[in-house]
Chains A and B, each alone.
Chain A
Amino acid sequence: EAQVTQNPRYLITVTGKKLTVTCSQNMNHEYMSWYRQDPGLGLRQIYYSMNVEVTDKGDVPEGYKVSRKEKRNFPLILESPSPNQTSLYFCASSRYAGELFFGEGSRLTVL
């Protein structure tokens, strides 16, 4: 089954404790990206990757890091989480010019 898998789905952490949200897709897609969803703001792109070792900032990259060492994986790293990073996070993938496939979302709370 074609899918984008994110883990963890739910996480509560404390300010400053590094965390990683993993994302994996099994469709051999070149393009992967991360979004955050906040009430009243819709979804906003954090980072994206056009292919292995090629990443770039989206609209709200501050406080986040990403890497793309393998085509299927695109982890989102919060080196020192802060409460304003409490949000719902989505990973997405697609072929170039194709439909975006979304993961099921990861609800992150930073205390």
Chain B
Amino acid sequence: AQTVTQSQPEMSVQEAETVTLSCTYDTSESDYYLFWYKQPPSRQMILVIRQEAYKQQNATENRFSVNFQKAAKSFSLKISDSQLGDAAMYFCAYRRFQGAQKLVFGQGTRLTINP
């Protein structure tokens, strides 16, 4: 079974600085998707970024980018120019390429932005 591990329960960063959230996963499959979701205090699950495992290029979405290391099974999220609105719980998630659409989530990292 696939597992996802986020080893940082909490992180904090100064506003306008850069922060990196870590995620590792375990799978025997070669094709899959990886995601980062943001959960602000409103509890809504918001997709931040996705990465297809067959793509070597790291995904980017404005201030958000990932460092995808397939051999190491690592998928970290970098947030540049941190803003107060980035404060949230962040979840890393894995999904198989085919078959059921189940997301396997990590435990989450709570990110605090210090003004």
Asked if A52 is at the interface (CB within 8 A of a chain B CB), the reply is no
B45: contacting residue among A33, A41, A102, CB under 8 A: A102
Q: Is B100 an interface residue (CB 8 A)?
A: yes
Stretch of A16-24, A73-81, A88-96 on the interface side: A88-96
**CB distance A104 to B101 under 8 Å?**
no
A 61-103 to B, binary, CB cutoff 8 A, 1 in contact else 0: 0000000000000000000000000001010101011111010
Looking at the assembled complex, report how far the CB atom of A95 sits from the nearest CB atom of chain B, in whole angstroms: 9
A102 to B: closest C-beta gap in Å:
4
CA distance A107 to B42 in the complex (A): 12
Query: For chain A, what secondary structure do more than half of its interface residues adopt (helix, strand, loop), or is it mixed?
Result: strand
Chain B residue contacts of A90, Cβ below 8 A: 45
Is B107 within 8 A of A41, CB to CB? yes
Q: Is A43 an interface residue (CB 8 A)?
A: yes
Other-chain residue from A33, A42, A50, A99 in contact with B105 (beta carbon distance below 8 A): A42
Contacts A42-B105, A42-B106, A43-B103; is A104 near B43 (CB within 8 Å)?
yes
Contact of A40 among B50, B102, B107 (CB under 8 A): B107
Contact between A100 and B107, CB atoms less than 8 A apart: no
Whether the Cβ atoms of A104 and B44 lie closer than 8 Å is: yes
Looking at the complex, which one of A31, A40, A43 makes contact with B101 (CB distance below 8 Å)? A31
- Provide the residues of chain B in CB contact with A104, threshold 8 Å: 42-44
A interface residues with partner B (beta carbon < 8 Å): 31, 33, 35, 40-45, 48, 50, 56, 58, 88, 90, 92, 94, 96-100, 102, 104-105, 107
Beyond A33-B102, A48-B100, A96-B101: 15 further Cβ-contacts under 8 Å? A40-B108, A42-B4, A42-B91, A42-B107, A43-B91, A43-B105, A44-B105, A56-B100, A90-B45, A92-B45, A94-B101, A98-B101, A100-B103, A102-B44, A102-B45
Can you spell out 14 A-B residue pairs with CB atoms less than 8 angstroms apart? A33-B102, A40-B9, A42-B91, A42-B105, A42-B106, A45-B102, A48-B102, A56-B100, A88-B43, A90-B45, A97-B98, A99-B50, A100-B103, A107-B43
